[in-house]
Amino acid sequence: MKTIDTILFDLDGTLINTNELIIESFLHTLEHFRPGQFNREKVIEFIGPPLVDSFRSVDSDLVEEMVTHYRTFNHEMHDQLVTEYEGVFETIQTLHEQGYKLAIVTTKIRKTAMMGLKLTGLDAFFEPVIGLDDVKRAKPDPEPLEIALEQLRSKKESALMVGDSHSDILAGKNLGIPTAAVAWSIKGIEKVKSFQADYIIDDMSELLSIVGAERG
């Protein structure tokens, strides 16, 4: 593997545990617009793609209203429901201290992404943060990754994409860079294996060995 100096990260379900927040936000919204039609198992399938895509599959005429309803609840409950994944902060801090270039590429809007980064203290390590409102085409299109690399002044030949969903891994593959999937995805390890990422990591600290970083 060529030397890695740049790591692109998804946010939700990868660096911060927003699973309960996302699930509750979907359930709250869908119960309002489609009472009794969606349960926890069904809304888990919505995790990953942009909100507009998920809600378009429910009702293309109500997408804007559903997105607004979702985000209002999501922002109100954010700090109560978002938690950290063990070992993430320490690993990211180590990578940052050793000079690796780090960026976030998320299907969230930037404002919401920054809420999670600030809550967990990870905002100190990431610049740029590429949100849904920064791109024309979301993951799995490689555009968000390309923008991040451009802003970091990095080349794809030295980059790695890390995520928890198929769209994350596919975005990396579409760009032609190595990919790492996290085993703690809410969709389960068998689903993660089906993404066919180059690496599957059980703990974020394993990323240090993959990119050749020294352990603190």
Residue 5 annotated to the active site? no
Contact 19, 172 (CB under 8 A): no
pLDDT of residue 1: 46
Task: Give strand pairing partners of 11.
Answer: none
Contact 168, 196 (CB under 8 A): no
At residue 21's C-alpha, the angle toward residues 40 and 185, to 5°, is 70
Per DSSP, 135 falls in state -
pLDDT of residue 214: 80
Architecture per CATH, domain 19-81, reads as Orthogonal Bundle (1.10)
Q: How far apart are CA 179 and CA 8, in angstroms?
A: 9
Per DSSP, 214 falls in state P
Contact 165, 9 (CB under 8 A): no
CATH code that applies to domain 6-17+83-211: 3.40.50.1000
Per DSSP, 7 falls in state E
Point out the catalytic residue in the list 5, 10, 12, 134.
Answer: 10
Q: What is the pLDDT along the chain (216 residues), one digit of tens a residue?
A: 459 999 999 999 999 999 999 999 999 999 999 999 999 999 998 988 899 999 999 999 999 999 999 999 999 999 999 999 999 999 999 999 999 999 999 999 999 999 999 999 999 999 999 999 999 999 999 999 999 999 999 999 999 999 999 999 999 999 999 999 999 999 899 999 999 999 999 999 999 999 998 876
Task: Give strand pairing partners of 182.
Answer: 201
Give the ranges where 51-109 is alpha helix by DSSP (H). 51-56, 63-81, 88-97
CATH 1.10.150, the chain: domain bounds: 19-81
